[in-house]
Structure 1
Amino acid sequence: MTRTDERPGTDAASPLQELRTELGNYVGAQAQRIVGSAVGKLTNLADPTDAGKGAGKGAGKGAGGVLAIGKRVLGGGSPVKALLSHGLTGAKDKVVSGAKEALGGGGGKAGDTKTTNIVEVIDIGLPLRSVYDQWTQFEDFSSFTKGVRSVNMSDEIESDWKLKVGPSNRSWKATVQEQVPDERIVWTSEGAKGTTHGAVSFHELTPDLTRVVVVVEYYASGFFEKTGNIWRAQGRRLRLDLKHFQRYVTLADEDAEGWRGEIRDGEVVRTHEEAVEDEEGEGEGEGEAEAEADEAEDAAEEEDEDDEEEE
């Protein structure tokens, strides 16, 4: 016996209509399965702690999405576009947020901060004092480095730095903790996206050759800063800026008038004026000592000559 599907008040459905109905039912069932699986996996990826929580609530959301997808498909829309527009938008946002948090840009805990240690060495063919004096001119750093936009000195100890990090601008407040003329400078700096603790030392290899050693501990907390840590971008940037400094100080028309003061434990213990006065006094003392030595040598020679004449 042949079964005939009859509907009250309408004629029997055509084969094409039956095919469209069955196709719609199939697409709806497949969409429900795919969207439910995809949303569940992506949600767990973005926030693993939600796995196993609120299963009924998630199922309700998935069912609502399937109804919207079914309407679009039955209305002649593309099943793929329907899936993307209704099933994956929220999940995509969760995954992006999870990726940022993994790299430190999504409000991670303070204890998750990692330290980057950087050590760079460069030799410069100039006397030690010329190299040191130029380094103390912090406001000139924007003239030869790529990342430094500007430096404003608040006093001999504190300064405000504006830097370019990726597509963003960053502000740092630096504090000199120790500074000994012609020997070393130790500093710390703090910013919204990280902190540093560094030291630069100056070593005379020959009267016309100076070695500069820079050691930095860098604690990144911004998204771009932590992303740069993965590729050691900060170390490469410091290495390049040291080469820029080498070029800048070597090609300078004249030596810079550096800051000759001394800082200990974040406090000035000898001002620039006092240091210059002491150096001038030492220079005069050395000149007098040399003059006395010359006079003594001349006197000894005269005595030798007198002895020879007596003989």
Structure 2
Amino acid sequence: MAKTEETSGLQQLREELVDYLSAQTELLADKAGDKLADVTDQLFDAAENGGPLPGAGLLKGGSPLKALLGAKAKGLKDNVVDKAQNLLGGGGGRKSGSTKTTNLVESLDVGVPIRTAYDHWTQYEEFSSFTKGVRSVSQKDETTSDWKAKVGPSTRSWQATVQEQLPDDRIVWTSEGAKGTTRGCVSFHELAPNLTRIVLVVEYYPSGFFEKTGNLWRAQGRRMRLDFKNFQRYVTLTDEEAEGWRGEIRDSEVVRSHEEALEDEGEEGEDEYGGGEEEGYDEGEEEYEEEDEE
């Protein structure tokens, strides 16, 4: 009985020490990330728009070396936790701290009809022509596409899968890549006949040391915001008419094809036009008959 209580006490001590180390490294990494956030913003601005690079003096309250060490501490947290478990005699133990997630919520207004904005967004293969990050997109089928993007000095690739897609309403997707996963939704809202609000919501889960470090600096979020604004500029100024994909997807399966959607839209237009013509003809015919009777 006493031996069991002693084992339980050591287990509790080990878990408390692991929690303490995790909390300390997380706190150190967060402080470093906050100090580097302003510098990263200016680095992106300098890279995209030109201009002088920010100096180290922007890191008020600490040296660049300390900030860099803090960022590395974030990526090395799992190793620290594992070593602590081994020193205390723990084998499998509890799982280390969860990865910090980038959450992006942005909205932009574009001066075009909602259908125009939606149709341009569905043309994924055109994204490389107006964004800074996307290098190429290959559409495999109606629900999946392969993407390649530039992130710093490296190229990243992933496969995106559309989970839900409703024309002129919203597109929900997930993506899987070697360096992280995302969940996203873009929705379209008509404010006026020629004014559309686009709302973008993305969650990014990085994988790997360099991706987690970049996530700490919020680099991926800044890249997505910049490309979102580039889409706004492109859609507002382009003279090209996009032939968007008008199909419908639910639970990652196409429930209505592009051709079926266009056919349904054509029939709806004919019914509306034809109905008006028939009603107008009937009224005129009745008036003509009344005149004859008089």
TM-score (norm: length of structure 1) = 0.62
Correspondence 1:210 to 2:196: yes
Aligned counterpart, 1:159: 145
Residue 103 of structure 1 pairs with residue 78 of structure 2: no
Question: Which structure ranks higher in relative contact order (CA pairs < 8 Å, sequence separation ≥ 6)?
Answer: 2
1:213–1:300: structure 2 CA closer, same or farther, 3 Å change rule?
A: farther
| CA shift for structure 1 position 297 | 5.0
Cα shift at 1:186? 0.3
1:154 CA displacement:
0.9
1:155–1:294 Cα change, 3 Å: same
Letter in structure 2 aligned against 1:200: V
Please say if residues 71 and 213 of structure 2, whose CA atoms lie closer than 8 Å, have aligned partners that are also in contact: no
The corresponding residue for 1:75 is none
Shift of 1:104: 5.8
8 A Cα contact 2:71 2:216, kept in partner: no
Aligned equivalents of 1:205, 1:251: Cα separation in 2: 19
* Cα shift at 1:114: 1.9
| Per-residue Cα deviation, 1:181-207 (whole angstroms, up to 9, x for no partner) | 111100000111110000000111111
Stretches of structure 1 that go unaligned for 5 or more consecutive residues are 1-47, 49-95
Q: 1:212 to 1:296 in 2, by over 3 A?
A: farther
The percent identity for this pair of structures is: 68
**Equivalent position to 1:264, from 222, 243, 250:** 250
8 A Cα contact 1:198 1:217, kept in partner: yes
Aligned residues: 214
| 1:137 equivalent in alignment to 2:109 | no
Checking the alignment, whether the CA contact within 8 Å between 2:159 and 2:175 is kept in structure 1 is: yes
Q: Structure 1 residue aligned with 2:107, among 111, 116, 121?
A: 121
Give 1:242 shift.
1.6
User: Partners in 1 of 2:96 and 2:136 — Cα distance?
Assistant: 29
Trace 1:22-41 onto structure 2 (pairs within 5 A): none
Match of 2:160 among 174, 180, 184: 174
Q: Which residue of 2 aligns with 1:28?
A: none
Q: Is the contact made by 2:148 and 2:157 (CA closer than 8 Å) also made in structure 1?
A: yes
Distance 1:294 1:137 in 2: 41
Residue 215 of structure 1: CA displacement? Answer: 0.5
User: What's the CA shift for 1:224?
Assistant: 3.5
CA distance in 2, matches of 1:174, 1:105: 30
Report SS of the residue matched to 1:112.
coil
Residues 227 and 300 (structure 1), Cα distance of their counterparts in 2 relative to 1, 3 Å cut: farther
RMSD over aligned Cα, in angstroms? 2.7
Distance 1:98 1:243 in 2: 32
* Larger Rg over CA atoms: 1
- Paired with 1:222 and 1:300, the residues of 2 have a C-alpha distance of 78
Q: Which deviates the most, 245-254 or 231-240?
A: 231-240
Is 1:278 equivalent to 2:264 in the alignment? yes
What per-residue deviation string (whole Å, max 9, x for no partner) do you get for residues 46-94 of structure 1?
Answer: xx9xxxxxxxxxxxxxxxxxxxxxxxxxxxxxxxxxxxxxxxxxxxxxx
Aligned partner of 1:23 in structure 2 is: none
2:274 corresponds, among 288, 301, 306, to 288
Deviation at 1:131, TM superposition (A): 0.8
Q: Which residue, 203, 207, 228 being the options, matches 2:214?
A: 228
Tell me the amino acid that sits aligned with residue 102 of structure 1.
K
Check conservation: 1:202, 1:211, Cα contact below 8 A: yes
Partner of 1:44: none
Q: Distance in 1 between matches of 2:158 and 2:96?
A: 19
Please, which of 155, 174, 178 is the counterpart of residue 192 of structure 1?
178
1:235 aligns to what SS in structure 2? helix
- How many Å separate the matches in 2 of 1:239 and 1:181? 23
**Residue identity matched to 1:113:** T
Using the TM superposition, name which of 235-244 and 208-217 deviates more. Answer: 235-244
1:10 corresponds in structure 2 to none
Q: Matched residues in 2 for 1:223 and 1:247: separation?
A: 34
In the alignment, the residues of structure 2 paired with residue 241 and residue 141 of structure 1 have an alpha-carbon distance, to the nearest angstrom, of 9
